[in-house]
Structure 1
Amino acid sequence: MIFSDKPFNKVLFYYTGDTLGDMIISTSAIALYKKKFPNAHITMMVRSNFAPILWNSLLIDDVLELDYKRLKTSWLYYIQLIRRIKNKKFDISIAMDQKAKAAILTYFAQIPKRIGYRGVSLAPSKIVSRLYNEIVNIDNVQELPVSEFFLTIIRGFLGLEVTDTGRPFVGCELTKEAEDAELRFAAITEPKRLRIGLCLAGRNKLKSWPNASTAELINRINQKYSVNFFIVGTKEDSSFVEELASLTAVPLCNFCGKTNIRELVSMLRRTDLFITVDTASMHIAAALEIPLVALFGPFSPEKWKPVSENAAILWNRTDCSPCNCMNVEKCPQHICMRDLSVEEVYRAVCSQLDKLN
């Protein structure tokens, strides 16, 4: 690998995976690249459902939206996308994933320099590796937090030190979005109260914290502080929230499935504390530097931690954790999250709230 000090003017970064949290973390690599080359014109290619979170960014000049379903089924769309990328005349592309379809796009778009990566268990296939013309070797990939992994790609390519770093980010807020968020909160919350957001149901249900524990936590917080609680999540979390609401008399404002990704960001910007499990919303809040209490169980925070100095991270590291299990049926006891005590979470919440005062 030859270190590059050349200031490439037109740069294509791409993350085409289906994990929003990882996509947000990958922006740390862009932040680092822009520190080195502040005048570079940066385009980020991501799945179309993730693109809005990057709109109006200070560090990204253009967002290239990828309809991944069409990419898998339509050769015509594939060809159109190759032409579109080629017409932008990028000097370099930098892979934040190893998906063959994305690498093929950059190859046939004839981008002169195409950067990929390899590491233990992350070696690209022979086909994909031939689509890159430079590869960054990451020796200790299994030991790295995901945030450091993305930064290591840039450090390896540019020959930077481990102390050279960047933070994940999201796009800036538009005036209309700010006004709408203020109106939304004004309609459902009482003034001069702290706003506490909750997101305690994970897409992987093994990450979720039990509702009985959440209800007890809400009751204890409500007894000590003057707060408004609201819940964010997907439509699929509705039954989870309904059960939670039945376990506490404290009012809960339910926004699950009722906000798009930009609206969610605007709400989190106005949150005093966000209590969350390992979710994409956790990484959004971290990028916004919102105070966090983050709960981990089956997945290790050493690997997936939020990139924030304002995060209190709690991990009930049982003998079987981390297991990285995605199947609820394989872990019916769910002890790592079930046994994470309300008292421990409550102390972390109090610590974060007391800092605000």
Structure 2
Amino acid sequence: MKDLDPKNIIVRMPNWVGDLVMATPILFDLRQKFPKATITAMIQKPLCELLKKDENINELFCFKKVKQLFLRRKENKNIIENLIEGKYDLGVLLTNSFSSAWLFYQGEVKNIIGFRKDFRSFMLDKAINYPKEKNHQIDKYKKLLEILSIEKSNSKPKIYLDKKEIEDAKELLYQRGYKNNQKLIGINPIAKYGKAKCWPIERFKEIAKKLSKDENNFIVFFGSSTDREEIKKICLDMPDRIINLAGKTTLRELASLISQLDLFLTNDSGPMHIAAAFDIDQVALFGSTSDLLTGPDSEKAIVINKKVKCSPCFKRVCPIDFRCMLKISVEEVFDKMIKILNNK
């Protein structure tokens, strides 16, 4: 495939926010290699919102993930028909599932490349082994591009916003009481993957209390609609300079707000990677997962990881004493944050 000159490329993007953001350099590298090609990014709703303004793609192929069997068959039929109609001459699978390869195969996508996973190799035109080395996820994605003679680049994750989106984010903050002279601090106390990735929520509350003692600090809690009530409890009896936007933003609104932060405190999560894509100062807390594999790709990110014996376990719920996160103290996190804020 080294001499391939595709005219119509489709890239199946990952299904989690963080993985999606870490995969954006692939779109950039493909655009650099094939500047005249039409590049389509295929991704689940609502994650496709994040790529809406991406300058490296020509089209977005958004689809729904359907659980009910009959509806799933109908959705898959529509996907296959659209793939056939697209006449794609290069398919890049950044997902490892059998189903994603099957859809490309049934959709008559030519020159399908991907990792040798989930008994799907017979549907791929070129399959390589999933890297066993402890490389960052971004580098693993880039390994696939070697099939196309694209050497590993220094491209980094990036999310594209327009001027209006940024202005709207600022207006939302102004309506909630934020002033331009204040330092804007975001806190993301949740991780969708599971509780094992989350620092105890009461410690995030302690951090917010400490930060709120300085009237120059304005603090925003982020989260999904399912986290709203839990975060609401944190914000009770707190100063007006601490607000809860959990479940009140779209993905693009969340990205726009994060892009304006002076500092971000977060678990290993999708919003952590969004902040890294904007090169925002952040303190990222790791326990059950590995910052070597999925850490924020930004020189402005400070990672706290106690690297206890049982970590990384990659479990959704800790089966023992949660030592990886409990060893991270409020004082250590607060000190890191204050050092960053004092330098602004």
TM > 0.5: yes
Task: Check if 1:167 corresponds to 2:159.
Answer: no
Q: Once the two structures are superposed, what CA deviation does each residue of 1:88-124 show, in whole Å capped at 9, x if it has no partner? A: 1211000001222221221122222111123xxxx33
**Equivalent residue, structure 2, for 1:344:** 332
**Equivalent residue, structure 2, for 1:89:** 87
Task: Check if 1:145 corresponds to 2:145.
Answer: no
Shift in alpha-carbon separation, 1:174–1:242, aligned structure 2, 3 A: same
Match of 1:41 among 38, 50, 58: 38
Q: Once the two structures are superposed, what CA deviation does each residue of 1:223-280 show, in whole Å capped at 9, x if it has no partner? A: 4672100100012223432342348557410000111111111111211111111111
Shift in alpha-carbon separation, 1:171–1:26, aligned structure 2, 3 A: same
**Equivalent residue, structure 2, for 1:299:** 289
Q: Kindly indicate whether the alpha-carbon contact (under 8 Å) linking 1:94 and 1:116 is maintained by their aligned counterparts in 2.
A: yes
Q: CA deviation at 1:285?
A: 1.2
**Equivalent residue, structure 2, for 1:238:** 228
Q: Which amino acid aligns with 2:80?
A: I
Q: Which amino acid aligns with 1:40?
A: A
Query: Partners of 2:181 and 2:240 in 1: how far apart?
Result: 17
Secondary structure in 2 matching 1:350: helix
Q: Which amino acid aligns with 2:118?
A: P
Q: Which amino acid aligns with 1:245?
A: C
Query: Partners of 2:279 and 2:191 in 1: how far apart?
Result: 21
Shift in alpha-carbon separation, 1:298–1:225, aligned structure 2, 3 A: farther
Shift in alpha-carbon separation, 1:83–1:71, aligned structure 2, 3 A: farther
Range 101-110 or range 243-252, more displaced:
243-252
Task: Check if 1:8 corresponds to 2:2.
Answer: no
* Superposed CA RMSD: 2.2
Q: CA deviation at 1:143?
A: 1.2
Q: Which amino acid aligns with 2:8?
A: K
**Equivalent residue, structure 2, for 1:136:** 128
Match of 1:186 among 174, 195, 198: 174
Q: How does 1:1-357 map to 2 (within 5 A)?
A: 4-15=2-13, 17=15, 19-69=16-66, 73-74=70-71, 75-118=73-116, 123-125=117-119, 128-138=120-130, 140-154=131-145, 156-162=146-152, 164-173=153-162, 175=164, 177-188=165-176, 189-203=178-192, 204-223=194-213, 226-246=216-236, 251-328=241-318, 330-331=319-320, 333-355=321-343, 357=344
Q: Percent identity?
A: 24
Secondary structure in 1 matching 2:307: coil
Structure 1: tracts of 5 or more residues without a match? none
Query: Partners of 1:159 and 1:24 in 2: how far apart?
Result: 23
Shift in alpha-carbon separation, 1:11–1:308, aligned structure 2, 3 A: same
TM-score, normalised with respect to structure 1: 0.88
Q: Which amino acid aligns with 2:173?
A: F
Q: How many residues align?
A: 341
Secondary structure in 1 matching 2:129: strand
Query: Partners of 1:14 and 1:153 in 2: how far apart?
Result: 13
Q: Which amino acid aligns with 1:145?
A: H
